[in-house]
Amino acid sequence: NGLLGEVWDDEMSSSMLGTRMKKVVQNYQAMNKYGVELSGPGGVSGTPKLSGPELLCQLKDKVEVATLTPDLQPFSLLPWATQLPPQQLTSDLGPYKSCAVVSSAGSLRYSGLGKEIDSHEAVLRFNAAPTTGYEKDVGSKTTIRLINSQVMASDDHRFLSSSLYSSGVLVAWDPAPFSADLTKWFNRTDYPIFTQYQRYRRLHPLQPFYILHPRFEWQIWQRIQDNMAEPIQKNPPSSGMLGTVLMMSLCEVVHVYEFLPSRRKTELCHYYQRFYDAACTLGAYHPLLYEKNLVKRMNQGSDRDIYTNGRVTLPGFRKLNC
């Protein structure tokens, strides 16, 4: 592989980060805002290293892609519960043949991947990531947009009025208590996801809009921790990881773009903003470093695909024989 530059090493650890970032990560590793309770072999060195296919089957078996429905307490007791979709996202959408998950990484800039991304049957994008003006690099199709509660709540994103959010299917999430207890979460969300959801639904009643069940984020977190040799940040996985697993449940094959950085690797945080911070690619709050280790191990594509196109290939869950 001498001609190939460095691609993501699946054993990246916080010890490989620079001093400043190492401190930030260590602080988050020590903090436990969401009441994470460690169980099983997680974080203990000597954890058996599973193969890619074994990891894929674990993910399929142990992670349930669930969304909130009006029958769930405490929502069932509230008048606005009728605004929630009556069915699960997974029963309403897909199955799709081939899907693209478009990370918002700065390395998408000048990638020329737009046509390839748009050739997929379904395309997932994140948060405030635009397509207008960036079509050549990121394409223009948006089937699903996964947004966090911070974007929904912040004034600068103009969530309620910006046309960015008004096409495709919206899926929202918020960092919830580790217990995934809906009442506890409802009483203490990180950002006001439910008030913003109600407002948005009143303005755009016809647009499909789901909210992820908090079990989903923590089940994925557990898969990451159980397969790492060191303690990871006790915070939910990044939108990138959540969206990747979400699409694995809807698609036959999932291509993830610039989650594992290509030869265009850059400290530019997002392709659409002039802001530089290595933490965007390596993680600080989110256990992003470890998410990438796991995705590298599950990748069924080649290192060259990562290096030249920033492309990872993952099988959909339906296709897996576990």
Q: Interface with ligand C5P by CB under 6 A: which residues?
A: 103-106, 126-127, 238-240, 259, 269-270, 280-281, 288
Q: Nearest-CB residue to ligand C5P?
A: 240
- CB of 69 or CB of 238, closer to ligand C5P: 238
Closest distance to ligand C5P from the beta carbon of 73 (Å): 30
- CB of 69 or CB of 127, closer to ligand C5P: 127
Closest distance to ligand C5P from the beta carbon of 236 (Å): 10
Closest distance to ligand C5P from the beta carbon of 220 (Å): 12
- CB of 68 or CB of 312, closer to ligand C5P: 312
Closest distance to ligand C5P from the beta carbon of 101 (Å): 9
Q: Report phi then psi at 130, rounded to 5.
A: -90, 165
Burial letters 58-70, b for 16+ CB under 10 A, else e:
bbbeebebbbbbe
Distance CA 142, CA 165 (A): 10
Residues 121/144, Cβ–Cβ less than 8 Å: no
Signed CA dihedral, 172, 175, 177, 183: sign only: negative
Closest distance to ligand C5P from the beta carbon of 51 (Å): 24
Under 8 Å CB-to-CB from 102, ≥6 apart: which residues?
108, 117, 123, 124, 125, 126, 129, 138, 139, 257, 258
- CB of 80 or CB of 285, closer to ligand C5P: 285
Closest distance to ligand C5P from the beta carbon of 4 (Å): 20
- CB of 42 or CB of 240, closer to ligand C5P: 240
- CB of 127 or CB of 293, closer to ligand C5P: 127
Q: Report phi then psi at 194, rounded to 5.
A: -75, -40
On the 0-12 / 13-18 / 19+ scale of CB atoms within 10 A, 249 is buried
